[in-house]
Structure 1
Amino acid sequence: MRMSVFIWLGALLLSVDNAHAQLKAFPEAAGFAAYVSGGRGGDVHIVTNLNDSGVGSLQWAVSQPGPRIVVFEVSGLITGDLHIPHGDLTIAGQTAPGAGITLVGHLYTTYNSDTGNIIIRHLRIRPPNPDSNWPANQHDAIQMSTANNIMLDHIDASHGADETIDFWGGAAHITIQNSHLSFPIYDTSNGWDHNKGVINHRPCLDSGNCQPGDRTGGYISILNNVFTHSRNRTPALSVGPAEVINNITYNGREGFVHHNVSEGNFNIMGNQYIAGPSISLSPFWFDPENASTPIPTAYWLQDNWVEVPGEYMGTVQNPWNDVAFGNAYTFACCGINANQFNQTGVFDFSGEPGYAPSVMRDPATLADRLLPRIGAFPHDIVARQSIEELQQRSGSWRNYRPVDLMAGLTPGTPPLDSDDDGMPDDWENSRGLNPQNGNDHTTIMPSGYTAIEEYINGLATQLTDDLIFMTGFDPN
């Protein structure tokens, strides 16, 4: 009898552990990093100042050992770079009271390390101009070239002089969702004209000699984002499986592009490509740099809206079968041919580890749905300017750098948290927790999430719900 009880208890504990392991990063997470766990189950570290280093700083918090969840009791500007030395990390920028957090610096992981299992939400990254430490050809707002299992949600990133976000070195299992990439540096007088968006690549493809154990690249989802004023790479994905769904690209030359030796399957669906004043638009440019043919790639395109007044206005499915589109654009080169678009339906990535599908929306509603809710909340002056220019079809490539990044933002006061576990007393009391017990943040709630996760996830959801109330538009 005793043995049966032990077996039953063991099975019960195993089922609880398995359910815990199958939780999404947060309920709205999707794509190839949907199930990243970040700092789940680890310590909570509270950012208590806006210094670039030292106890209580954001750099101090992310540098602590082990799994960790970082919350904020301050808001405003942090001037300096942020190095993430190891993974198992959640940064909950949505907890910064009032004004959110802007990093006036670069956010990066160690190159050639497999830093991973990271969730970052509601953070603005706006680095200064290139210098001797960050020359233009290495100047990315976010640089995670060799990281894996990365979830970026509600990020505002700008002012990169190379890419805005760099996943070039074989990084894999990545989602960028609900984010806003704007105003990459464009200053031809200083040679900073590499104003581009997102890149992902598997470098061993360049030699044609990939070996087991080489970084894979791919397994990347670009979902519900807005790109403004980026010349191209919005995004540049050379490795599949990959998906680009329900994004808006404004005032760029190319939306989807490879820009490297390519392989794999790609879904490109429900996006808007909108011409702007800085350059002629070419929405898709399939340009593999493979030395041999046939090119090992295949594509499913569906419901992509192209807006070029006087040239082409309409929805593109398979570009090879769209005579008007083919007459207006050259969209493929270098070995890509019509047979690679002859798929009978969307590629099904549901069997891929760690993947959860997103909901594809009508591209006609993208602007109403995305613009109020993309990026970090509240929107700062850079985000507001980008959104206004998209709405007005105005603006240009330039080094747009407002003097006061805090314009229109007001820091708030954090709620009372008597036990410094990252959860306000009122919230704990309402959930039957003890606001005098600093260890109950790891309590498993009925949702399956730990208590601190349920708090920070709910806070992020509430920010979106508040926008629905203010704008009257339900993004769901």
Structure 2
Amino acid sequence: MVYKINSLEDSANPGDGKITYRECALALSVTSPYQIPAGRPRYCVFEVSGAIELQSPAFIQTPHIYIAGQTSPGGIEFRLGANYAPADSLIDTRRGGDHAIIRHIRARLGEHPDRPSPNGDAIRWNSTNFQIADHVSAMFGTDESFEGGCQTCTVQWSIIGPNICRDAGHSSTSFHCKTFFFKPAKDLTLAYNLSQHGEQRGINIAPGSFPFNYGEEAQIDVIGNFVYNFVQESGLVSNQYAHPIVNYISNTTYEGPRFVTGGNGNFGAALYTNVDTFGHGFRINAQDNISPFNSSTADFKGYFGFFKGTTPGSVCNASNGLKDCSVTGLDVVRSGRMVSARGAARNWLQSWMLVDYRQAQRNVLSFAGADRCRDGRCRDNVDEMFIEDVQTCDRSPRLFESGWTSTVAATGGYARLRSTGGPSVDSDNDGMPDAWENQFSGTNANVWDANDDPDGDGYPNIEEYLNWLANDHTRYRDIYNSGNATLPPYNCGKPRR
């Protein structure tokens, strides 16, 4: 089914002629302006531009949904509405929303000091499977900006953080400043993202499954990410749920104005072992990563260290599903060969998707975040501000130089989204404009043929259109070497630690 969203209202009245995001997210029936049955797989396409302020939870509980922000004439931003109490996540698949794709969407929560909650996440994927977030801008959370616990999932080309940290509405503390967190997760890829500005959880991963499966090997691939300005936990990999089998390739961690050493171990990735519960080892491949602790990628172990309280002797190798303490400490980190978990799904990473860390930096700064709309590129003012802040991180003024903030306004504000025009003519309401359908022999502008696949490539017509809008036909072989953004100097001009 195709929900052609024609209103920014957060409402659900099947016969009012308005089709809303809430109706699509919840898979509700619509009777006007055309019929949509309830409970079906669906595409959320947007004929409007601007902010959707959610006034209550819109948890995605019916599986198979594609939220296509690239269809909007000027972009879509989800925000926390004034009546959403207690505050909770904006885009949330934690209760059955498997098989979800989110592309070119902004999810920016905001403060809620009068509505305390422990769950103020911009995006949350807990206990779900088969999720993709591509070119998403997830910010201004009060718990995390992106929290996940999922299997067979990908977060790529996205901007995660900052949070709203001080007196912003977290129910357990007046100060909560954590950003990007996956626990537990397996068959997960985190690629070409910018994770920025927080006390903890720059990229925090705990490979594994829930319920707990003792002895399991769980794989995560961490590729080409840029982590910037975390105080005491830029990265962490934990063995509390399984043997972590992790590929770290071409990632960057740089200091910002809030960065400190010590604390919990502020490394590119700090190893954490839960010695009081189950015995799991680590198997890590590291290639071409850079951080304040290794100015040369040849020092591949220098990207790693130990979380506070974790001793080198407690970190053991993982071999064939067993903890192998003949290899300990940073010797569990090796270089040069991809590692794979036993029984893992096929690893789709190809050699042409992997570039050196400097090109990965250019790619992230050039393309990360929600940057495509119906009529072309549309990176908004908020993302532009944060990208420029990274590019100029070697000099003042820097964002958060004087401390963390309590409001969205003090953090730079919400997006200023501008539409490039009204809805495209779509005579058959299949989500594909007549002008686009008329270009091809396999589509008919007068027949509802969104689900047809005339070329047999596995992508129905509607997804061919959505991929075309996202510029996938020219981007996704060339994108890995085409980023040309200006880069900051090594470690934002600060010397190696």
Match of 1:178 among 143, 154, 157: 157
Q: Does 1:398 align with 2:405?
A: yes
- Please state how far the C-alpha of 1:47 moved relative to its aligned partner: 0.5
Per-residue CA deviations over 1:62-99 (Å, capped at 9, x if unaligned) read 222111111111111001153212111111110011x2
Counterpart CA distance in 1 for 2:356 and 2:472 is 24
Counterpart CA distance in 2 for 1:82 and 1:90 is 15
Long gaps (5+) in structure 2 = 13-17, 28-38, 81-88, 208-217, 261-265, 316-328, 372-377, 486-497
Q: Following superposition of structure 1 onto structure 2, how do residues 343-358 of structure 1 map, counting pairs within 5 Å?
A: 345-348=337-340, 352-353=344-345, 355-357=347-349
Match of 2:65 among 75, 86, 89: 89
Q: Does 1:451 align with 2:461?
A: yes
Q: Which amino acid aligns with 2:160?
A: L
- Please state how far the C-alpha of 1:177 moved relative to its aligned partner: 0.5
Per-residue CA deviations over 1:372-408 (Å, capped at 9, x if unaligned) read 2111122222212211111111222434624863436
Match of 1:121 among 100, 103, 106: 103
The range that moved more, 234-243 or 281-290, is 281-290
Q: Does 1:230 align with 2:198?
A: yes
More helix by share: 1
Structure 1 residues 165 and 149: alpha-carbon distance in aligned structure 2, compared to 1, 3 A threshold: same
Q: Does 1:52 align with 2:37?
A: no
Alignment RMSD: 3.0
Task: Quote the residue 1:315 is aligned against.
Answer: 297
Counterpart CA distance in 1 for 2:296 and 2:364 is 20
Counterpart CA distance in 1 for 2:9 and 2:451 is 28
Q: Following superposition of structure 1 onto structure 2, how do residues 435-446 of structure 1 map, counting pairs within 5 Å?
A: 435-437=445-447, 439-446=448-455
Counterpart CA distance in 2 for 1:341 and 1:282 is 14
- Please state how far the C-alpha of 1:199 moved relative to its aligned partner: 1.9
Counterpart CA distance in 2 for 1:472 and 1:269 is 18
The range that moved more, 152-161 or 457-466, is 457-466
The range that moved more, 399-408 or 234-243, is 399-408
Q: Does 1:77 align with 2:48?
A: no
Query: In 2, are the aligned partners of 1:161 and 1:193 still within 8 Å (CA)?
Result: no
Counterpart CA distance in 1 for 2:101 and 2:482 is 29
Structure 1 residues 230 and 292: alpha-carbon distance in aligned structure 2, compared to 1, 3 A threshold: same
Structure 1 residues 56 and 318: alpha-carbon distance in aligned structure 2, compared to 1, 3 A threshold: same
Q: Does 1:107 align with 2:117?
A: no
Query: In 1, are the aligned partners of 2:272 and 2:306 still within 8 Å (CA)?
Result: no
Counterpart CA distance in 2 for 1:456 and 1:355 is 25
Structure 1 residues 276 and 463: alpha-carbon distance in aligned structure 2, compared to 1, 3 A threshold: farther
Structure 1 residues 304 and 369: alpha-carbon distance in aligned structure 2, compared to 1, 3 A threshold: same
Q: How many residues align?
A: 402
Query: In 1, are the aligned partners of 2:225 and 2:361 still within 8 Å (CA)?
Result: no
- Please state how far the C-alpha of 1:350 moved relative to its aligned partner: 10
Query: In 1, are the aligned partners of 2:141 and 2:161 still within 8 Å (CA)?
Result: no
Q: Following superposition of structure 1 onto structure 2, how do residues 143-162 of structure 1 map, counting pairs within 5 Å?
A: 143-162=124-143
Task: Quote the residue 1:246 is aligned against.
Answer: 224
Structure 1 residues 256 and 404: alpha-carbon distance in aligned structure 2, compared to 1, 3 A threshold: closer
Query: In 1, are the aligned partners of 2:237 and 2:269 still within 8 Å (CA)?
Result: no
Match of 2:430 among 421, 424, 427: 421
Query: In 1, are the aligned partners of 2:467 and 2:473 still within 8 Å (CA)?
Result: no
Task: Quote the residue 2:26 is aligned against.
Answer: 63
Structure 1 residues 411 and 401: alpha-carbon distance in aligned structure 2, compared to 1, 3 A threshold: farther
Counterpart CA distance in 2 for 1:456 and 1:189 is 36
Counterpart CA distance in 2 for 1:350 and 1:456 is 35
Runs (4+) off by over 4 Å:
131-134, 188-192, 329-332, 462-466, 471-475
Match of 2:369 among 371, 375, 379: 375
Query: In 1, are the aligned partners of 2:110 and 2:140 still within 8 Å (CA)?
Result: yes
Q: Which amino acid aligns with 2:46?
A: F
Structure 1 residues 317 and 46: alpha-carbon distance in aligned structure 2, compared to 1, 3 A threshold: farther
Query: In 2, are the aligned partners of 1:183 and 1:400 still within 8 Å (CA)?
Result: no
SS at match of 2:388: helix
Q: Following superposition of structure 1 onto structure 2, how do residues 130-209 of structure 1 map, counting pairs within 5 Å?
A: 130-131=112-113, 135=117, 137-168=118-149, 171-187=150-166, 191-202=173-184
TM-score, structure 2 as length reference: 0.73
Structure 1 residues 49 and 354: alpha-carbon distance in aligned structure 2, compared to 1, 3 A threshold: farther
Match of 2:251 among 271, 280, 289: 271
Match of 2:274 among 283, 289, 293: 289
SS at match of 2:257: coil
SS at match of 1:299: strand
Query: In 2, are the aligned partners of 1:159 and 1:399 still within 8 Å (CA)?
Result: no
Q: Which amino acid aligns with 1:159?
A: F
- Please state how far the C-alpha of 1:330 moved relative to its aligned partner: 5.6
Percent identical pairs in the alignment equals 25
